[in-house]
Amino acid sequence: MSEMTLAIIKPDAIEANNTGHIIQRILDDGFKIRAMKMLRMSATEAESFYAVHRERPFFASLVHFMTSGPVVVLALEKENAVAEWRKLMGPTNSKDAPKGTIRGDFGTDVERNACHGSDSRENATIELAFFFSKLEYC
């Protein structure tokens, strides 16, 4: 069944001029881009988006990183989009991510890992609504 997930191209990948390469991989993997925009999150927005991690030791650093430059947010559609996008991204730590995955090819470490993906259908719905209104879906 077709589903949607939220992808974010993170500030490290934008700064390194990898935005186009990552979008091409998304398209080559068979995702449809239903919505997309570039924005720069405020600290309040990043804290809210990552609220589930607020007790973790890396929270402040993560918020600092995610607000250090613009991000590109995308609503991706495919069969099993949530799992398929996480597979294409690779594991969280870019140092462990195999070559051929986005995090393996474009990320640096456990924090600067090039992209975000929702971890469940439920969270995908919440995260898509965080960034996109109904009018923004094509």
- By the criterion CB under 6 A, which residues form the site for ligand IDP? 53, 58, 62, 92, 110-111, 113, 116, 119
- Binding segment toward Mg ion, per CB under 5 A, in 42-50, 94-102, 103-111, 116-124: 116-124
Length of the chain: 138
Catalytic residue list contains 21: no
Q: How far is the CB of 114 from ligand IDP (least distance, A)?
A: 9
The site partner of 137 among ligand IDP, Mg ion, none (C-beta below 5 to 8 Å per kind) is none
Burial grade of 24 (CB within 10 A; 0-12, 13-18, 19 or more) = exposed
Nearest C-alpha neighbor of 106 from the set 98, 114, 116, 97: 114
CB of 5 to ligand IDP, least distance (A): 11
What residue 5 binds from Mg ion, ligand IDP, none (CB within 5 to 8 A, per partner kind)? none
Q: Cβ–Cβ contacts within 10 Å for residue 66, how many?
A: 23
Nearest CB to ligand IDP, comparing residues 29 and 119: 119
Query: Which of 63, 65, 62, 81 is CA-nearest to residue 128?
Result: 81
Which residues neighbour 42 within 8 Å (Cβ) at sequence distance 6 or greater?
Answer: 67
- Nearer to ligand IDP among residue 21 and residue 59 (C-beta): 59
Active site residues: 116
